[in-house]
Homo-oligomer: A and B are copies of this chain.
Amino acid sequence: MALLDLLGRRWALRILWELRDGPVPTFRELQQRCDNVSSSVLSERVRELRGAGIVSETGFELTDAGRELLTVLGPVDAWAKRWAKRARPPA
């Protein structure tokens, strides 16, 4: 699955997360929100997400597809949280 190839990469989901509530004004701002990730990596990741049609070509915001993705990912996230609680403490 190529999608995981993308989302599995470092900071990819974080970027999605940071853009979830609307556009982020500047590159540097996004960089700061992402724990000051290296500009090289951030730039590369954003480029990939743009290529995938998930992030807008101009500016730093999600496309419709990006928001859709967030939606389908919701249940997975929810499941992951429940899963974490029962699977993590396998004393």
Give chain A's interface residues, CB within 8 Å of chain B: 1-4, 7-8, 13, 51-53, 65, 68-69, 72-73, 75-80, 83-84, 86-87, 90
Contacts and interface: CB of A to CB of B under 8 A. Distances in A.
Contacts of A76: 3, 72-73, 76
Contacts of A2: 80, 84
B69 A79 contact: yes
Nearest to A7: B4
Given A4-B8, A51-B87, A65-B83, 4 more contacts: A3-B80, A4-B7, A68-B79, A72-B78
Nearest to A51: B90
The 10 residue pairs across chains A and B that have the minimum distance between CB atoms: A8-B8, A3-B80, A53-B87, A72-B79, A72-B75, A72-B76, A52-B87, A4-B8, A1-B13, A76-B76
